[in-house]
């Protein structure tokens, strides 16, 4: 409880991800909570986490949490599906009484609320899918639900390269989604922070009968609930740009920020992990 006195309504919301993908979470949090200060750490020096081993991912999760804790956030959002899947306990242990919420549990929770036929599809990176973490989380909320999942490893590079409306992206998406859409699902979770960038092509392929759950939006709504419950919503009426920390300055960072956020890159602070 020693950290409890530091949690103030004006403290920032801390968000971290392995790279820049978590900016979709920043955008969703801005939309849900426009008057909150946002502190974002992107571990751009060590991205991607997905293909790495669990030991390495858990070490990185502790580092990332420690980085945000320097700024005494009032809540920590794990925007990284890989960390949400494999190391949420590490984050929780590293930040004491500060509440922690992750994209994975928030997306899983919203999907269970939305499905009517209890058949949910999940797409994500190879690491997220092979961990079956969404399936486990969904079944913790409702053990009756059937979960089918599919790894879509090329979606991240296609999104980052801006191949949004490209025929090649459509062909790859059709191949990735063919089987899962034949499984009778009525809900599909975008289990990777990059996938909202490709939401349109995914929606066109799966059709209007399947409801898309964006984990970034889900975690933003969950964060609002948690801050409301604990009385920690900001009382400010000032809208501010997010404070960005990165462990490396990638060469196309500005272009990527624009792609994810639809706005100009604010000042960025380079930090060492």
Q: Label the pairing between strands 187-190 and 211-214.
A: parallel
Catalytic residue annotation: 80, 192
Q: Assign 3-state DSSP to the chain and report helix, strand, coil percentages, each to 5.
A: 45, 15, 35
Q: Which stretch binds a second copy (CB under 8 A): 108-116, 189-197, 227-235, 249-257?
A: 249-257
181 is in an annotated binding site: no
60 is in an annotated binding site: no
Least distance (Å) between residue 153 CB and a second copy: 5
Q: Which stretch binds a second copy (CB under 8 A): 90-98, 166-174, 227-235, 237-245?
A: 166-174
Least distance (Å) between residue 43 CB and a second copy: 11
Contact indicator for 131, 86 with CB cutoff of 8 Å: yes
Q: Which stretch binds a second copy (CB under 8 A): 94-102, 167-175, 186-194, 201-209?
A: 167-175
Phi, psi dihedrals of residue 187, rounded to the nearest 5°: -145, 135
Q: Please enumerate in sequence order all residues whose Cβ is within 8 A of that of 254, keeping only pairs 6 or more positions apart, or say none.
A: 265
Q: Does 53 bind a second copy (CB under 8 A)?
A: yes
50 is in an annotated binding site: yes
Q: Tell which positions 30-49 bind a second copy, by CB under 8 A.
A: 44-46
Furthest CA-CA distance within the chain: 55
CB atoms under 10 Å from CB of 106, counted, come to 27
Q: Please enumerate in sequence order all residues whose Cβ is within 8 A of that of 146, keeping only pairs 6 or more positions apart, or say none.
A: 118, 119, 120
> Which one of residues 146, 183, 186, 248 is an interface residue with a second copy (CB under 8 A)?
248
Whole-number Å distance between alpha carbons of 198 and 260: 11
Q: Residue positions in the annotated binding site for substrate?
A: 17-18, 49-50, 81-82, 193-194
Which residues contact a second copy (rule: CB under 8 A)? 44-46, 51-53, 56, 126-127, 130, 153-154, 156-158, 161, 163, 166-169, 171-172, 175, 248-252
């Amino acid at each position: 409880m020693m950290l409890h006195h530091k949690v103030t309504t004006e403290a920032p919301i801390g968000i971290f991800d392995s790279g820049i993908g978590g900016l979709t979470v920043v955008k969703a949090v801005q939309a849900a909570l426009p008057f909150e200060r946002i502190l974002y750490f992107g571990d751009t020096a060590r991205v991607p986490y997905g293909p790495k081993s669990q030991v390495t991912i858990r070490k990185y999760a502790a580092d990332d949490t420690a980085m945000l804790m320097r700024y005494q956030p009032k809540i920590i959002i794990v925007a990284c599906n890989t960390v949400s899947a494999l190391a949420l306990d590490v984050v929780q242990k590293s930040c004491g009484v500060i509440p922690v919420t992750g994209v994975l549990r928030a997306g899983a929770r919203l999907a269970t609320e939305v499905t009517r036929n209890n058949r949910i599809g999940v797409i994500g990176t190879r690491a997220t899918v092979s961990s079956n973490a969404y399936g486990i989380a969904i079944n913790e909320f409702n053990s009756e639900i059937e979960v089918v999942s599919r790894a879509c490893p090329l979606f991240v590079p296609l999104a980052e390269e801006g191949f949004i409306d490209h025929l090649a992206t459509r062909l790859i998406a059709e191949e990735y989604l063919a089987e899962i859409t034949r499984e009778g699902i009525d809900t599909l979770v975008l289990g990777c922070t990059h996938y909202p960038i490709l939401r349109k092509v995914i929606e066109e392929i799966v059709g209007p009968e399947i409801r898309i759950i964006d984990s970034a939006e889900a975690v933003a709504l969950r964060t609002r609930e948690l801050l409301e419950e604990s009385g920690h919503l900001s009382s400010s009426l000032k809208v501010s740009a997010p404070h960005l920390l990165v462990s490396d300055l990638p060469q196309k960072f500005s272009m990527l920020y624009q792609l994810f956020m639809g706005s100009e890159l604010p000042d960025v602070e380079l930090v060492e992990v």
